[in-house]
């Protein structure tokens, strides 16, 4: 089934309006190109609605948010809602400041998001207001284990019920859940956490997949997460001992470029809960 999901991305070549942080914007643009989508980054409130109207999907990421880009996100989000375009929201580092938490809450109040994608600490914070997150990385105390897996799945489902969005959590096991059903995806490699912005890139990829599969949001989200994980595996296989996190990051995007629907279909490892 993931085969068709990815074929749709390659065929439809969706234009993705991205309002995202400047730290990883280049990698997000390149991973969108790599999967067959076409990126346009534009964070000015004066043009946010126009750009969204000319795109097929909207990606919102608060990694370096400020009052001006927050306003642009809400304008773009409302236009996307009006036009029925899917929106993927990435609450980068929401635990790290009260401002970021409030911005995330405002976005979720004003804009109906299609998917919310974060690491386990970010999603927990968003779901409950609790949890320790002081950086853009998942906190050790939030580590996914056999013991807390059920809890995490339930909090993903409950955030999905509350928000109406598919909830996507990346980590040692990736989770994509709506209110009833959860995909558990076992692709990827631990070294992915050493590359700045693999989370942002996953969210960008989810936007392209969801925009190309309007009737299969949950499956498209799971497909994008699995694609990213498989790319992480393919890239790991290429590394030589002198390579480090930056070469690894570049190889991940290269792998998305070379990924085919067949490789995705045969390489994915998921189960339902």
Footprint on this chain of a copy of itself (rule: CB under 8 A): 15, 21-27, 29-30, 33-34, 38-47, 50-51, 54-55, 63-68, 93, 96-100, 134-137, 194-197, 234, 238, 241-247, 249-251, 253-258
Cβ contacts of residue 181 below 8 Å, gap of 6+? Answer: 218, 272, 273
To a copy of itself, the closest distance from the beta carbon of 167 in angstroms equals 23
Which CB sits closer to a copy of itself, 96 or 149? 96
Min dist. Cβ of residue 187 to a copy of itself (A)? 18
Task: Return the number of the residue (141 or 272) whose C-beta is nearest a copy of itself.
Answer: 141
State the Cα–Cα distance between residues 206 and 35, nearest whole angstrom. 10
Side-chain-facing half-sphere of 141: CA atoms under 13 Å = 7
- When the beta carbons of 65 and 225 are compared against a copy of itself, the nearer one is 65
CB of 144 to a copy of itself, least distance (A): 18
Question: Furthest-apart CA pair in the chain: how many Å?
Answer: 51
Compute the least distance from the CB of residue 69 to a copy of itself, in Å.
9
φ, ψ of residue 84 to 5 degrees: the values are 75, 20
Minimum distance, C-beta of residue 86 to a copy of itself, in the bound complex (Å): 17
Which lies closer to a copy of itself via its Cβ, residue 68 or residue 150?
Answer: 68
For the CB of residue 161, give the shortest distance to a copy of itself in the complex, in Å.
29
By C-beta, is 101 or 218 nearer to a copy of itself?
Answer: 101
Q: Nearer to a copy of itself by C-beta: 55 or 187?
A: 55
């Amino acid at each position: 089934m993931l085969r068709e999901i990815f074929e749709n991305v390659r065929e439809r070549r969706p234009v993705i309006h991205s309002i995202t942080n400047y730290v990883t914007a280049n990698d997000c643009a390149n991973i969108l190109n790599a999967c067959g989508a076409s990126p346009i980054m534009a964070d000015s409130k004066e043009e946010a609605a126009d750009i969204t109207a000319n795109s097929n999907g909207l990606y919102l990421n608060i990694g370096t948010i400020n009052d001006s880009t927050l306003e642009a996100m809400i304008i773009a989000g409302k236009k996307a809602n009006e036009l029925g375009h899917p929106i993927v929201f990435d609450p980068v580092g929401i635990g790290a400041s009260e401002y970021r938490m409030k911005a995330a809450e405002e976005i979720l109040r004003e804009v109906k998001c299609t998917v919310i994608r974060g690491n386990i600490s970010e999603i927990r914070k968003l779901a409950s207001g609790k949890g320790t997150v002081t950086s853009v990385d998942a906190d050790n105390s939030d580590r996914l284990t056999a013991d807390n897996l059920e809890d995490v799945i339930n909090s993903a489902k409950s955030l999905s019920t509350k928000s109406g969005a598919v909830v996507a959590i990346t980590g040692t096991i990736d989770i994509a859940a709506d209110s009833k059903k959860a995909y558990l995806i076992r692709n990827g490699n631990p070294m992915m956490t050493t590359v700045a912005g693999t989370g942002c890139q996953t969210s960008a990829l989810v936007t392209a997949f969801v925009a190309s599969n309007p009737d299969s949001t949950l499956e498209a989200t799971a497909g994008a997460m699995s694609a990213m994980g498989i790319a992480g595996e393919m890239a790991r296989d290429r590394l030589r001992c002198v390579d480090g996190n930056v070469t690894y990051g570049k190889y991940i995007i290269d792998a998305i470029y070379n990924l085919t629907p067949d490789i995705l279909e045969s390489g994915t490892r998921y189960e339902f809960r």
